[in-house]
Amino acid sequence: MIVKLLAASILLGAATLAAQVSETIDVRVVNVDVTVTSKSGPVRGLTRDDFEIFEDGRRQTITNFYASDETRAVAAKTDVVTAPAVEQPDTRFRRKVLVLVDNNHTTKHSRQTALSELEEMINDRFHGDYEWSIGVIGRGVTLVLPLSSDKKAIHEALEIIRRAGTRREDAMSFAGASDREASMLQRTETTTTPWASFDSDYATRLAQADIHDDSERVIAAKFTVPAILDAARGFASSSGRKIVLLLTGDPGLNDIEIVQPAGDGFSVRAVGRGATKVWQDQASIEELRKRIVREANASGVSFYIWNVEGLIPEETNTSAVFWLAKQTGGRLVTGNDPGRAIREFDTASSTFYSLGYSPTHQDDGKYHSITVRLKQKADYSLEYRSGYAASPSSVQLARAMTSPTAAAMQANALPVTMALGTSQDVRDGVSVPIEIKVPFRSLQFLPGKTGVAANLVVYISVFNEMGKNLVASSFPLTPGFKSGSPDLNGTLVYRNAISMRKGERHRVVVAVRDVTTDSVGMATQVVRF
């Protein structure tokens, strides 16, 4: 571990006490967003009584119900990129869309076409009533734009991506991009094989080559998937209709073709010990897909996957990305007609029903399956996440703090500030003082035995230049006042120190959570000493 936290101190500006904070009752509600469609489009006008929801096969009582229909008519085109203020949807169900551009598996032409259609949709159909974030998968995951409703900022972020290349057509790098790939993924020259189909060992050589190709595909996927996981995990503990719109081609997550045509029949691919390698690679791909679904459902994120390369008959295999979208409550849209694809995304993601129920079990940390049905018999299609992890908000926030995107994806209910002091040389690098502040006025103080106290948790995470989480620590605090009333003009000051290697770039993310109100505030800073 190259980064560590050193001794901490707390400054309150008033006498402290070890108060016993009153217990709070946590009534957990599981929200499931459901999109209902027919052959003609979204199905509107349904009520709570039209739905049935099951957890682990047991029927649940729907206690909360919300119908969202944010689809609006196309606005007249003007040179003005702002629109009049409109009534905002309930913040608990407001859309938060992360556009994630996969530069590893797209061509520049297809990506540019998709981005142009996305900009047209934002110009014509976006009215500022939800939020967009723009990110890119290249050398890891990099956020170009945090969540924003500013059309100008959105267009500027898309232009930054547009000016860059893709890995398939000369790799690009963003300032501060994280590097998850190794040298094995660097651009290489293509050489011509001396084989010929009439060689006696041609079939054997071809099978060996297929095995190597599959192994390289698995290696590439193992570096792309962590970036996708980081994007989903950054949404954990935040509210709203959380969506990742992934612009990609073939991310390498399809099953390996074990059985292939051979003459008039079929053959199983196997070359000596290569057979074992094929099954190992297949198991790796299956696990990567499951990790994405588990992480997305645990974070309450739906994946809408846009295959910007389009479909080629008898060549394109979209089974993996279709399954990922289906399991997370999203949808696969194709790029053969980019304009139609982005309109389909906008309509499907904005027209949905949110069903809420209170499970009878505690937050046990286990994964629970979800099934939603309509009582009436109709030719309708339902899209919803297939399960969730029953974890308390504190665990969700801790998960989010392992993602370098967390600070950009969370709503700040607490005014948290962070300052880094002057570094000092130590044996293994430098020690950097850190100071975190939050006003007492923003915290909830409850009566204890000898005064009042707040119940807080401070989180500190550090990421290296590759986006790897080096440390994620939390510190419970109970600042209190013996006088029986808090100093509303005072400030909580938490001090610590971070030891890191000299000359390397790091991102520091801090969060403060008020346990009583479940309010969170975050701050982030990129440093190099």
Query: What is the chain's length?
Result: 529
pLDDT digits (tens, 9 = 90+) for 489-517: 999 999 999 988 888 889 999 999 999 99
CA dihedral for 309, 311, 100, 231, sign (positive or negative): negative
- The burial class, CB within 10 Å (0-12 / 13-18 / 19+), for 278 is buried
Q: What is the pLDDT of residue 18?
A: 37
- pTM, two decimals, is 0.80
pLDDT digits (tens, 9 = 90+) for 51-93: 999 999 999 999 999 998 876 544 444 444 444 444 555 677 8
Mind giving me the DSSP string for 344-373? HHHHHHHEEEEEEE--SS---S-EEEEEEE
3-state secondary structure 212-240: HHHHHHHHHHHHHHHHHHHHHHCCCCCCC
For 193-207, give one letter per residue: b (16+ CB within 10 A) or e: eeeeeeeeeeeeebb
> 296 is written with which tokens?
């997305």
Question: 416 or 203, which is more confident?
Answer: 416
pLDDT digits (tens, 9 = 90+) for 189-224: 444 445 444 455 545 544 555 556 677 777 778 878
Mean pLDDT of the chain: 81
Nearest to 15 by CA among 480, 435, 377, 499: 480
DSSP summary character for residue 205:
H
- When pLDDT is averaged across residues 350-374 and rounded to a whole number, the result is 92
**Other CB atoms within 10 A of residue 508 CB:** 22
- When pLDDT is averaged across residues 292-309 and rounded to a whole number, the result is 94
| Cα–Cα distance for residue pair 313/507, rounded to 1 Å | 45
Mind giving me the DSSP string for 256-325? P--EEEETTEEEE---TTHHHHHHHHHHHHHHHHHHHHHHHHHHTEEEEEEETT---TTT---HHHHHHH
> 460 is written with which tokens?
């500190």
